[in-house]
Chains A and B, each alone.
Chain A
Amino acid sequence: MAVIRLKDIRHSYAANPKEGADWALKQMDVEWQDGGAYALLGPSGCGKTTLLNIISGLLTPSHGDVWFDNLNVTSQPADTRNIAQVFQFPVVYDTMSVYDNLAFPLRNRKIDEKIIDIRVHDIARMLDLEHRLKERASGLTADGKQKISLGRGLVREDVNAILFDEPLTVIDPHLKWQLRSKLKELHGRVGATMIYVTHDQTEALTFADQVVVMYDGQVVQIGTPIELFEQPKHTFVGHFIGSPGMNVLQCQLDQGKAIVAGHQIAVVNTLAAPDQLTEIGVRPEFIKFSKNGMAVDIVKVNDVGRHSIVESKMGDHDLKIMVPEGQPIPSDGAHVIFDTAYTGFYVDGWLQERD
């Protein structure tokens, strides 16, 4: 068990990285608390898998160090790090039985067969594989195989962390739920740090205490699901989390005031250089219709069950507004106000803190 620290990590697959695009991971300083359940969320190609492989030791970063507690493990190979990793596609050793698969990591480490037997049975019981130990691993279904992959990680004692790289991709939808609850349950029981890579926000938000959002090779925000929702630190987080995503409206600065379509928007901090991109971010949930506010033209109303999503235009800007069920939607001459507490001012994509 250990706190995992990534210090000043950068990684490039190119031999001589020059421009920004050469870096799969840009600057990164992250600390993973011992025993935490983290979800690593981000679009394809943002560097999630690279980050996992650096933690597990399959990749050595081009720059920076990986620390487990007070030990610098940057140059340690994967098999000595006590990290378990479950991949997108289940990896089982086809010719072996389920038992031998689970025993494999221990046998490679020359552990006594008696201890192996106890460990394998423990893990098999935990994963509901006990009655299938004698079967050939290749005969199991995808979720069974994925359990074996996971079991091979858990069977080692003192696992520092379990890394999941989109482990439910090939699992049938109705089994996804089961397996995901199993993972949560295991997290409670094993107590190891779990880092769960996904691009599915529902999966991330249900699994994790802390969600790490990555975008374009960097971590843009670490926080609880609530924090990500209420205070997105980057317009990408606003877009990516939530359905529909945050409204991002480009704004002009006029004597320290943020102006969108002729309206002044009340935000706390409006410091920006003249050549920077300035935007206002506000979630559809935090916009209300009001008698006196900013005028909008309603384009379309989508009823999505417990609420309606109103698509509207404020000047040239698209604006989505979420209206709870039962509340009236004005037919014309609609005006809206933004909830100041949840309206952010973004410079080049980054939220300006309310200091």
Chain B
Amino acid sequence: MATKSNNQKGWFFVLPVVALVAFNALIPLMTVVNYSVQETFGNNQFFWEGITWFADVLASERLQASLGRQLFFTGTILIIEIPLGIAIALAMPKKGVWVSVCLVLMALPLLIPWNVVGAMWNIFALPDIGLLGRMINGLGFDYNFTQNPTAAWLTTILMDVWHWTSLVVLLSYAGLTSIPDAYYQAAKIDGAGSWAVFRHIQLPKMKRVLTIAILLRFMDSFMIYTEPFVLTGGGPGNTTTFLSIDLVKIALGQFDLGPAAAMSLIYFLVVLLLSWLFYTLMMKNEDQ
């Protein structure tokens, strides 16, 4: 084995990145840490509080409830978007002019700013003037997402599925098109049916991109703010108040910086922990 050369000059090259990360992540994060263990009444006066805020936040029923809603929301959209995304990707043409048409159509929702998506769906789903809302009511269902929690949830989930399934589709499609033809030909000769082809060729070959897709969708949906905020404002009541909406209410609505900071850190750790767990589990078998 070659001996490692000891070259301290290497640090010099890493310095720009370290500085960049420090300014855009570490220093802001440390500010949050700073707030989370102190109490302030303005005038730049701070009082040490220790872990009080963390204990408060963890014990708070309100936050437990929004965490529950958040988990339910993320779980639901993952269960819908991942299989749906794979199914659409499988149904997309593999060559010809329609490929570009499909890709552009699929990419469109991803290009729309989040608050516009919220506003679009808000108007689209309004029971009196919205196309969707009017239609559902016209069919005889009592649908009003501004008043009925179930309708609010359905609309929020539908909006997210509309906005983000494309991402899963595009990633899955990229995974699918990278499978060499020989695999399909061999499967044909081996007498494999379409389920066997999916189970033993397509799904394993898509594993990496799907891992990325699930991670991205998990993180994004777990931190979702703008779209439901514009669509429902967290209501009716607080039935669609997700973690980040609650966080903003505490931090900017009530200006409780201490609890808000503590909650941010817990929030951050939950996302980090779940992502790490998922990724480790998915990649466990890779090296064998």
Contact = CB atoms under 8 A, between A and B. Distances in A.
Contact of B182 (A79, A89, A95): A89
A108 B201 CA distance: 14
B267 to A, nearest CB: 36
Count class of interface residues, chain A: 20 to 34
Interface string A84-102: 1101110101111000000
Contact of B204 (A95, A104, A153): A95
Interface in A49-68: 53, 56-58
Contact of A78 (B188, B201, B288): B188
Contacts of A136: 288
B191 A109 contact: yes
A96 B200 CA distance: 8
B108 to A, nearest CB: 31
Interface in B156-200: 180, 182-183, 185-186, 188-193, 196, 200
A58 B196 contact: no
Contacts of A93: 200-201, 204
Nearest to B201: A93
Contacts of B205: 94
Contacts of B188: 58, 77-79
Give chain B's interface secondary structure class.
Answer: helix
A105 B190 contact: yes
Interface residues of B, number: 17
Contact of B190 (A53, A77, A88, A108): A108
Nearest to B200: A93
A111 B192 CA distance: 13
A114 B49 CA distance: 71
A84 B201 contact: no
A96 to B, nearest CB: 7
A88 B182 CA distance: 8
A58 B201 contact: no
Given A108-B196, A136-B288, 7 more contacts: A84-B189, A93-B201, A93-B204, A94-B204, A105-B191, A108-B193, A149-B186
